[in-house]
Amino acid sequence: MQVTPVGKGKRRRQMLTPMLQLPTLTAAQQTVLLKWLTSDAGERNWQSLLQAAGTNHVEVAESLLHALLQAGAVAVKEEFHHGQWRSQRVVWTELEAVQRLANVSTRTERAATKENLNTQLEALAKDHPWLVPAVQSVLNDTLPASTRKARAELLQALVPWQQAQRQALRQDFALAAREHTKAITAAEWDWLEAMLPLESLGIGRFEPLLWLSGAITLRHVGEGQGDLMALQRFGFVGLPCRQFCLPLGVAMPPQRYWLIENRASFERQSHKLAPGVCLVWLPGRPGKAWLEAMHWLLAQAPATATISCDPDPAGIQIAVTAGRLWDDAGVAWQAAHMDISYWQSGKTLPLTDYDHRVLAELQVCDGLSPALASLRDYISSSGTKAEQEGWL
């Protein structure tokens, strides 16, 4: 043991031999040691270490300090008070070596893990641009490491789900991602919902529905007719997307369809439809189940359509996605209530980074009508967008 004076009434004690291994510790000493090793500080105040150990483990802490000192793991700075030497500060001689021996992650290891995770996330965003907003959220340094890791794993699990075009409920995605239907927390679902269009990715909170109102009559083949026209007095109805197949049939088709993205606008317009119009709620980023149901309905009852989405970059993409159903059926459609005359003098919002990325995609998008191309260019030049519930 080397004792070195470091000033009047002060000294430093430590072993000259380097630490080779941890001393044999009791269960209580191991518990206290793990508490101490959660900090990456190379030098600690002895009182703070006692507090970390807990008032019921003062003797355990003192015996642990002695064992660590004898093993060469620490040096102790002491001061002479009232006739005796008292520990003041504890210096780890090789903190990361002790942490590794105690199976505690070191700062170096955590930094490497973080760098590796960031590399994976950046590659994920590059290969799958639709994940960019969520990836940027995970790259936020203010998040705890455990949260960043958990969220990154969820994003990685989304890729094969999206590539397989799976359509199911949230419990099914949780089972696929973490092997348990309740393994994704409420906070994680809130984050996923804020970052990504879960419904269009085939992850529904409930069974996907096709919401309709107005001039259409459906029936079961071989059975009595069920007239949805009467429902116009009450508003609208949602039918499971899986039901849009035989034996369901269309007894009386509409004269035209009107698709509205904003749910509040859809509900408002459902009470004041013109004759012959079938109103359909168009969910943001419609999923496979919705597209298949609408495709079936259009095949049974072809009619022209007007499509109304928020006048923002995503809204333009959504309108084009829905419009392709009519393109494939060889039936005309057009965007409506999205022109700048409806919103440029009202409340507008600034474009986000995500909006700018979508605008770049729209520059090379096929199927953009002159009206939507003009809207795209205005949004880009003005740097503003709006939400259709303000006027529709």
pLDDT in tens, 350-385: 988 778 888 988 988 877 899 999 999 999 999 999
Q: Let me know: does 197 contact 133? Beta carbons within 8 Å.
A: no
Whether the model clears a pTM of 0.75, i.e. scores above it, the answer is no
Pairing of β 225-227 and β 248-252:
unpaired
For the ranges 74-78, 179-183, 319-323, the lowest mean pLDDT is seen at 179-183
Q: What pLDDT score was predicted for residue 223?
A: 55
Q: Map residue 91 onto helix, strand or coil.
A: strand
Let me know whether 213 and 351 are in one domain.
yes
CB half-sphere exposure, 43, CA atoms < 13 A = 8
Task: Give the tens place of pLDDT for each residue, 381-391.
Answer: 999 999 888 78
Asked whether residue 227 carries a pLDDT value surpassing 70, the answer given is no
What CA–CA distance (Å, rounded) separates 187 from 104? 27
Q: Let me know: does 25 contact 98? Beta carbons within 8 Å.
A: no
Q: Let me know: does 72 contact 97? Beta carbons within 8 Å.
A: no
Let me know whether 264 and 176 are in one domain.
no
- For the chain, give the percent of residues with pLDDT over 70: 96
What CA–CA distance (Å, rounded) separates 220 from 248? 4
Let me know whether 79 and 118 are in one domain.
no
Mean pLDDT across 98-120: 90
Asked whether residue 228 carries a pLDDT value surpassing 60, the answer given is no
End residue of a domain, out of 101, 132, 161: 101
Let me know whether 155 and 247 are in one domain.
no
Let me know whether 88 and 152 are in one domain.
no
Whole-number average pLDDT of the chain: 88
pLDDT band for 222, please (50, 70, 90 cuts): low
Mean pLDDT across 182-208: 88
Number of domains observed in the structure of the chain? 3
Residue range of the domain that includes 12? 2-101
Does residue 370 have a cis peptide bond before it, meaning omega lies within 30 degrees of 0?
no
Pick the closest to residue 120 from 169, 153, 90 (CA basis).
153
Asked whether residue 256 carries a pLDDT value surpassing 50, the answer given is yes
Q: Map residue 256 onto helix, strand or coil.
A: strand
What CA–CA distance (Å, rounded) separates 52 from 391? 60
Q: What pLDDT score was predicted for residue 269?
A: 92
Task: Give the tens place of pLDDT for each residue, 291-320.
Answer: 999 999 999 999 999 999 999 998 999 999
* Overall size of the chain counted in residues: 392
Pick the closest to residue 287 from 353, 230, 207 (CA basis).
207
What CA–CA distance (Å, rounded) separates 124 from 163? 14
Mean pLDDT across 207-214: 87
Asked whether residue 286 carries a pLDDT value surpassing 90, the answer given is no
Asked whether residue 245 carries a pLDDT value surpassing 90, the answer given is no
Mean pLDDT across 325-341: 94
Let me know whether 189 and 213 are in one domain.
no
Asked whether residue 230 carries a pLDDT value surpassing 50, the answer given is no
Give me the residue label for tokens 């209530």.
337
Asked whether residue 22 carries a pLDDT value surpassing 70, the answer given is yes
**E strand spans, 39-103:** 43-45, 74-81, 84-92
Let me know whether 55 and 118 are in one domain.
no
What CA–CA distance (Å, rounded) separates 385 from 187? 29
Q: Categorise residue 276: left if φ over 0, alpha if ψ from -120 to 50, beta otherwise.
A: left
Q: What pLDDT score was predicted for residue 17?
A: 84
End residue of a domain, out of 204, 229, 252: 204
Q: CATH number, domain at 68?
A: 1.10.10
Q: CATH number, domain at 255?
A: 3.40.1360.10
Q: What pLDDT score was predicted for residue 234?
A: 59
End residue of a domain, out of 86, 101, 116: 101
Q: Let me know: does 334 contact 328? Beta carbons within 8 Å.
A: no
Mean pLDDT across 247-261: 89
Let me know whether 184 and 251 are in one domain.
no
Asked whether residue 229 carries a pLDDT value surpassing 60, the answer given is no
Q: What pLDDT score was predicted for residue 224?
A: 53
Let me know whether 353 and 284 are in one domain.
yes
Mean pLDDT across 87-96: 93
Task: Give the tens place of pLDDT for each residue, 122-137.
Answer: 999 988 888 999 999 9
Q: Let me know: does 279 contact 236? Beta carbons within 8 Å.
A: yes
Pairing of β 43-45 and β 84-92:
antiparallel
Catalogue the long-range contacts made by 355-359 (C-beta closer than 8 Å, 24 or more residues apart).
355/312, 355/313, 355/314, 355/379, 355/385, 356/313, 357/129, 357/132, 358/313, 358/314, 358/316, 358/317, 359/313
Q: What pLDDT score was predicted for residue 250?
A: 84
User: Cα 83 to the chain's mean position, in Å?
Assistant: 62
Let me know whether 275 and 181 are in one domain.
no
Let me know whether 120 and 70 are in one domain.
no
Q: What pLDDT score was predicted for residue 390?
A: 79
Task: Give the tens place of pLDDT for each residue, 45-75.
Answer: 999 999 999 888 899 999 999 999 999 999 9
Pairing of β 237-240 and β 209-214:
antiparallel
Q: Which two tokens stand for residue 239?
A: 């039918």
Let me know whether 42 and 127 are in one domain.
no
Mean pLDDT across 98-106: 91
Asked whether residue 231 carries a pLDDT value surpassing 80, the answer given is no
